[in-house]
Every structure is written in structure tokens, then in C-alpha cells.
A and B are shown apart, each in its own frame.
Chain A
Amino acid sequence: MIWVENLSKRYGPTTVVDNVSFSVAPGETLVLLGTSGSGKTTTLKMLNRLIEPDSGQIRLDGTDVRQQDAPTLRRRIGYVIQDGGLFPHYTVAEAIATVPNLLGWEPARIRERTHELIRKLQLPEAVLNRYPADLSGGQRQRVGLARALATRPPVVLMDEPFGALDPFTRRHVRRELFGLSELQETTVVLVTHDVAEALELADRIALMHQGRIVQIGRPGDLTNQPANDFVRDFLDV
């Protein structure tokens, strides 16, 4: 589904992402794990061209992402960030309708999809007319996910999606959301610095350090056969 080859990004003399390659299979969840400054978020943002790489290639479904105009590309890729990234002036209903509206869906179809999503995400109907400021952190996160999934995009990118939640809520919301059938069919790339989260959610983990992928593999591969001391220390196993 996603092929990344020799991807690099420099800011001045600093190389933030250094010759990174990986691929993600359809329906797979890849977690980019690492400390802050490891280049994981930059890597993620290059996938939907929020950041343009200096070199390397990204193909999505076989097509180079640079062959299409960036907003059009992004509408086909769900995007979830910390605390949902909701617009303060959009109600929940409007937030979920954001991408469908950009794609010109019929109002009836949007309404139907919105109700389907809040049912699946176990949000009460009453929430639809509320603004983000009136929601709990967990609710905001669910709405952020609903916005990303509204048009059933084949790929969803998540940048520290549960970062703003307390540890208890985080575990709870995480389990619930990743149990959704919608998400299981979707190809997900998720960025986190939380090892437990990575081990729980990932089909595969790419552990990044100083702009490079140190090891990529199934969670069991990393814990059982860490490639070096850094991996061992990081996973604390």
C-alpha cells in the first residue's frame, strides 16, 4: 500500500530524516516509534506532503505522491493528531463532515455517515451540536478519528493521537478505537513515543533514532531479537 524509498529531509546542516525506507501492506498498522527528535513525525508528515522531502520517493497504491496536487492527495488520507486537531469553531457534526464536504458529498449521505460513525465510536447524539471546548479529551479524540475516517480513506496517518489523554483514558480509548472494524481494514501509520502503545497496536514497529530506522519488524521480533543495545534499552526488555 505504501512504499517509501531512501527518504531524506534536512533542515540546514541537520539531517532530520536520513535515508529511510519501508513499506506498509494494505490493512497493516505500522508504528513509528522513537524519542522526540528521532525523525518519526517528519517521516509521517512527508507521507501526506505536509513536509516535502529533499530526496527519496513515496508511492501510495503504486502512484508517486508528488504526481498529484497536495490537497487532493490529503483528502484521500485520513489524518489524526494530538487532541484531535479539531477546529474550535466547528461543531462535532461539522467536524465529521469536513472532508466529505471538501469532496462534495450530498448532505443526506454525509448525515447518514455521521450517524454511523458516532454510533460506532459510542458518542451520544447530543454531542453533534457541541463545540470541541465542551467535550472531554476522550470525546475530542474520538471525534478527531471520526473526521479522519469519514470518507473511508484507504490510509490513515496518526501523529501521537492519544498524547493528550491521561494514561487510564488513553488505554481505554485506544482499545476501543482499534477494535473498530473500520480501522482494522485501514492501512495505518501511527507515530508514538509510548512503547506500550506501540507493542499493543502495531502489526510492525519501526524504531527510529537520529533520523534512521534502527530496527523494523513485528513487536515480538523487536523484543525477542533486538538488533542492538539501543533497541534493547529503548524497549526496556
Chain B
Amino acid sequence: MLDFLRQNADKLFEQTLTHIGLTFVSLLLALVVGIPLGILIARRPRLASGILGVAGVLQTVPSVALLGFLIPLLGIGVGPALVALFLYALLPIIRNTYVGITEVNPTVREAARGVGMTSRQILTQVELPLALPVIFAGVRTATVINVGVATLAAYVAAGGLGEFIFSGIALSNTNMILAGAIPAALLAIGFDLGLAALQRLSGRKLRVGTLAFVVLVPILSGFYLLPMRGDKLTAGFAHEFYGRADGYPGLQKTYGLRLRPRLIDQNLMYEAIHNQQVDIISGYSTDGRIRAFDLVVLADNRHAFPPYDAALVVRQAALDRHPDLGPTLDRLAGKLTDSVMTALNYQADFLHQSPKQIATRFLKQTGLYKASPPGNRTETVVMGSKLFTEQYILSEIYRQLIEGHTHLRVATRTGLGGTQICFDALRTGAIDFYPEYTGTGLLVILQPPTAILQTLPMQADTVYRYVKNAFARQYGLVWQRPLGFNNSYCLMMRREQTQQLGIRSIDELVNYLSRE
């Protein structure tokens, strides 16, 4: 934990500043809008239920759903994050301003009129000062909510402590999760205590405290601007890619690539590059969106990314029990090349065809399609798959293949959320097989010592042989023959921009970035 913090102190500091900035920019906006609205409805009670109702409904929209609504309108980045945070902060501020003002003792208000104050003077000299503790209570609620919700900003590439949390979850790296979660919790507690203290002040101290608060909020908001992103090209990387040894750290080591990437959810990444909000993204080389958005995969001329040849990993017990299973599975070997798999992914992601349709058509084209023979199927094999399009398609192809060529029934457990979950399910026998990638098997599951990694040539066949042997020896699991495609990590850019800048490989990208 401490080691992790030491190594990532810069990043942590930057994220904390961004986090504070996000919280307070949105709080500032909410104050600027919410306090006048609260005053308005205190003056015109007929508007109160309407305005409080709308703000209340906004408050109940789950934060992920709210971001979901905002992304189509505002794209990704700071925009949707700030708007979402602003909307969450609004209700407590409007409501507490309203309650604070309406709860001022009517005798005091009448005395204020009686001594000759105008209604503006009554507001600024009597009602607002007396409402301040209640307003601060609202600000306190809003701030604590915002510190929490701001972690979701990392989902849309707006930065903040959520970057560590999301990366940590993607990588099952507890230290990384805590490096984001603990500071976020401390910020929430700290601001809560600070504002609670402010709320308890009275008289002149309250006035001083308010003044300090009014000065402090814009300053804290300014923190958002501090970590400037000064790259010629903006990179948007998935959280997992950013943290995995074979992802960005590998690129840094092999190519000396130095970027200040924005971290972003991997499904939003493609939209972001398409809308020119970022220029470089990480991704998988068989993703259907490469074709859909006319992206170019930069050549990995120094082999920073290990090969990720897809193949089925099967329990030995399942092969022994069903002698016809192994040969059936191997019928697909070599049939799915990079371009075939990319096309299948494209059909699912962009033409919105169902995996079932796609699988049937593919099997017919390769001559492997057989209508399932009738009759009772008493024996069942269980297939697992991870949580993305390619795996859904593969599991459907295998299901139709097995049910066409054997008398086995195939049960599917699709959408297992990640390598570790799939692998554990396989080892414990919850599933009999699932499609895995050689590089993932090597780096995520086997995790051999660095000495072995350095001597192992990162070529498709050597890596395949290594994982096949190691899996058989250590776990009694069998790697079937590779399917034929290599779904490797890759960097991609918009075709148009690569042509303008003359960048075709990662080497050329590094050269371009280091040029003055």
C-alpha cells in the first residue's frame, strides 16, 4: 500500500486536486443557481412545491443513469460530470435556503419592516444572515454528496480519485482501489467536519466564516485547472489498460512513450475518439468499432503487446467424459482470422444483429453448420464467457457447433465479469470451458517471474506453447488449438489524423510527440 502510494504520489496528488476542483466547481454553480432559487421560492411560496419537486426528482436519478442521459447531450469529459454534480448539489442548497428563510421568526421579520428596512435590506441584513446556518447545512450535504459522486467522473474521463478506484476494480488491485477510496473518504469527512464547524459559528464569527467560505470555494474550484494536460495529442485509455503490465506500462518501457492519458470507461472510449475528444485510444485489435469509426491500429513494431491468440480452455474431465467434445471444438481451429472476427464483431456492435444470427451465418459460410439432431439430450456441458461482444458471439458459435455435431446440451454462463471470475469458475467446475487469450493466460493467470518473461519470445506460437504446458501442469486444464485471431491490445487513432500526421506505428507516434 505504502509502496503503491510512493510510486504514484504525483498521480494521487493530481487526482486529489482534480477531485476537489470538480466538487467545488459544481458546488459553486449550484450555489449561484440554488441560493437565488431558494430566495425566489421563499418569496413566492406558490412556486416552492414545483421547484423543490423538480430538484427532488433530479436527486433521485441514480448517478450512473444521470451520466447516461448526459453523455448523448454533452459527450464525455468535464461537461457531463460537472452537470451531474451540479444537479445533485442543487436540491440541498435550494431546499435549505428556502427553509432557512421561511423559518426566520415572523416577529423578527416584522421588527425589520417596522424599523424601516426595505425588502432587499430585510433579505440581506436579516433573513440571509439568520438562515446561514441552515444554508450551510445544505452546502454540507451537497459537498459530501459531490465528493462521493465525483468519483464517477473518472467514468467519463473527467479525472478525479475515481481513476484509481475504477482502475483498481478493473485490475482487482486492492491497493489501487484503496489509494482512490481512502482519500475520497477523507475528503468527504474533512469537508463535512469543516462545514459543520462553520454551521455552528454565530454572530461575527459566522460572518468571518462565511466570507472565508465565499473566498475559498472559487479557489478550490480553481484546483480543477491546475493539472494541465499539455500533450500534443490527447490519449484516452481504459482503466484496465492504464494499469496492466502489458498495457500502458509496457508501452512506456518498450517505446519510452510519455503521455498524460485521460482515463475513461472502455465502452465510451470509441465514442470519444470518434467525436475528436481524444486522439489516441487503447483497445482490442478485433473490435468491430475499429471498422465502424474508421480507426487505424498503430503497428506495434517493437512487440510491446504480447500476442493474445484466442483459444478455448477446457477442463480435462469434460474432455474425458465426452470423447466427441474435443474434436468438435477443434473444428473451429484456424477458421476465425483477425478480419473475420472483426467483421463478426462489427455485425453485432453496429448492425445490431443478434449473436445467434451471426453465429448461424458464420457456421453456414464455413460449412460447419448442422441442424441439431432431434432426440433427448441428457448430457450437458457448461460454457462460460466474459462480458463483451466477441465472447458472446464465440459462445453462440460454440453452442450451435456442439449441438449440431454432438448429442450434448450446452448451457451458457455468459457475462462473467472478468478473467479472474471466468478462470475461477472453470477451475472449480462451475463451467467446463470458456474462450481465453494466450497473453491473458500468461500475464493475468500464470504471472510467471520476470526472469522467465524476459527470456520468453513474445511470439504467437511460443506464448501458446508456454501457456498450454503450464495450464496442463498446474491446473489440469487444456488449451484447444487457437481459433486463428489475435485480439491484442493496441493503440488506435482516427484514419484521417494518422494520414495528416504521417503516423502508422507506435514508434512514429513517439517521434511525433517528442518533436518540438
List A contacts of B110 (CB < 8 A): 50, 81, 85
Q: Is there an interface contact between A89 and B202, defined as CB atoms closer than 8 Å?
A: yes
Q: Is there an interface contact between B107 and A99, defined as CB atoms closer than 8 Å?
A: no
Q: Is there an interface contact between B129 and A74, defined as CB atoms closer than 8 Å?
A: no
List B contacts of A107 (CB < 8 A): none
Query: Of all chain A residues, which has the CB nearest B132?
Result: A89
Q: A157 CA to B202 CA in the complex, in Å?
A: 31
Query: Of all chain B residues, which has the CB nearest A48?
Result: B114
* Chain B positions 97-117 with a Cβ under 8 Å from a chain A Cβ: 105, 107-108, 110-117
Interface size for chain A: under 10, 10 to 19, 20 to 34, or 35 or more residues? 20 to 34
Q: Is there an interface contact between B115 and A99, defined as CB atoms closer than 8 Å?
A: yes
Q: A148 CA to B115 CA in the complex, in Å?
A: 8
Q: Is there an interface contact between A85 and B111, defined as CB atoms closer than 8 Å?
A: yes
**CB-CB contacts of A60-90 with B at 8 A, as 1s and 0s?**
0000000000011111100101110111110
The answer to whether A91 has its CB under 8 Å from any CB of chain B is: yes
Q: A28 CA to B108 CA in the complex, in Å?
A: 28
CB distance from B209 to the nearest CB of A (A): 13
Interface size for chain B: under 10, 10 to 19, 20 to 34, or 35 or more residues? 20 to 34
**CB-CB contacts of B240-284 with A at 8 A, as 1s and 0s?**
000000000000000000000000000000000000000000000
Q: A131 CA to B121 CA in the complex, in Å?
A: 20
Q: A91 CA to B105 CA in the complex, in Å?
A: 17
List B contacts of A89 (CB < 8 A): 126, 129-130, 202-203, 206
CB distance from A128 to the nearest CB of B (A): 13
Q: Is there an interface contact between B114 and A74, defined as CB atoms closer than 8 Å?
A: yes
Q: A53 CA to B105 CA in the complex, in Å?
A: 25
The answer to whether B118 has its CB under 8 Å from any CB of chain A is: yes
Q: Is there an interface contact between B116 and A75, defined as CB atoms closer than 8 Å?
A: yes
Q: Is there an interface contact between B202 and A74, defined as CB atoms closer than 8 Å?
A: no
- Contacts A81-B110, A85-B107, A89-B130: A74 and B203 contacting too (C-beta < 8 A)? no
- Contacts A91-B203, A131-B203: A86 and B117 contacting too (C-beta < 8 A)? no
B105, B115, B126, B130: the one within 8 Å of A74 (CB) = B115
Q: Is there an interface contact between B112 and A87, defined as CB atoms closer than 8 Å?
A: yes
List B contacts of A79 (CB < 8 A): 111, 114-115
Q: Is there an interface contact between B117 and A71, defined as CB atoms closer than 8 Å?
A: yes
Q: Is there an interface contact between A85 and B116, defined as CB atoms closer than 8 Å?
A: no
- Give 18 A-B pairs besides A71-B121, A74-B116, A102-B116 with Cβ atoms closer than 8 angstroms: A48-B114, A50-B113, A71-B118, A73-B116, A79-B114, A81-B114, A82-B107, A83-B107, A85-B108, A85-B111, A85-B114, A86-B111, A87-B111, A89-B130, A89-B206, A91-B203, A102-B121, A157-B114
19 contacts between A and B (CB under 8 A): A50-B113, A50-B114, A71-B117, A72-B116, A74-B116, A81-B114, A83-B107, A85-B108, A85-B110, A85-B114, A87-B126, A88-B130, A89-B126, A89-B203, A89-B206, A91-B204, A99-B116, A102-B115, A148-B115
The 5 A-B pairs at the shortest CB distance, nearest first, are namely A85-B111, A75-B116, A79-B114, A74-B116, A71-B118
